[in-house]
Amino acid sequence: MKFINIEFGNINNIYALFLFNKSKSSYLMKIKSILFLINFIFIITNLCSQDLTRQSPTTKIVYLKGNIGATHYFEPQEIVFTTGKLYKLTIKNVSDSKHYFSSNSFSKAIFTRKIQISSNNYKLAEIKGIINEIEVWPGHEVEWWFVPIKTGKFDDLNCRVKDRKTNLKHSDMGMQGTIIIK
């Protein structure tokens, strides 16, 4: 083996040994290392180049429920998502009041592809851009298409609409929830 004392920053003899070692096993090790590096770069490039918004969506449904003067709530009250997956979150208002689906921290942790509004299986509108709050009227639904990009637990899901009988916010009457992104 031939050692050459070359300094590259903090790396010296180890780097020189790798570069200038003339044994057959050293050449095989170099070739294996280079092939591994090329393969690794190829895999990472392919993973990063996929359009995450074009994958098949995972559908989740949240119901907005309650009765005027009594109670209001999300069902389920805890929603779990995974980063990097496309979701179609259907928000259905099955109550007698309008409701907000609002979470500022969640909206900052996702990439919204679109909000889709339909009636009788006929698409009425698509909204694109940053969404912080969605208002859904009784008997209607909205589809929110998004990809979670940041993990976290978001406890600020709520509805700020005031109840017509009690004048309390729906969130004060139980309409609060948690969103978790893994």
Query: Given this model, what pLDDT does residue 120 score?
Result: 79
Q: What whole-number distance in Å separates Cα of residue 158 and Cα of residue 101?
A: 6
d(CA 16, CA 71): 73
Q: What confidence score (pLDDT) does residue 157 get?
A: 96
* 100 backbone dihedrals φ, ψ, rounded to 5°: -105, 145
pLDDT at 119: 80
| DSSP H or E run through 125 | strand 122-127
Pair type for strands 99-102 and 133-136: antiparallel
| pLDDT of amino acid 160 | 95
At residue 95, the pLDDT reads: 95
**pLDDT at position 121:** 80
pLDDT of residue 46: 56
pTM passes above 0.75: no
CATH class of 53-181: mainly beta
Identify any residues that bridge with 153 across adjacent strands, giving them in sequence order. 180
Distance CA 155, CA 172 (A): 14
Kindly list the averaged pLDDT for each block of 10 residues, start to end, along the chain of length 182.
44 47 64 71 59 81 95 96 95 95 94 88 86 92 95 96 95 96 96
The pLDDT, as a whole number, for residue 20 is 52
Q: How far apart are CA 130 and CA 136, in angstroms?
A: 17
Tokens (6 digits) for 45: 């490039």
Residue 155 amino acid letter: D
User: For 118, which DSSP code?
Assistant: E
Q: What number of residues does the chain have?
A: 182
User: So where are the chain's domains?
Assistant: 13-48, 53-181
Q: What's the per-residue H, E or C state across 48-101?
A: HCCCHHHCCCEEEEEEEEEECCCEEEEECCEEEECCCCCEEEEEEECCCCCEEE
pLDDT of 6: 41
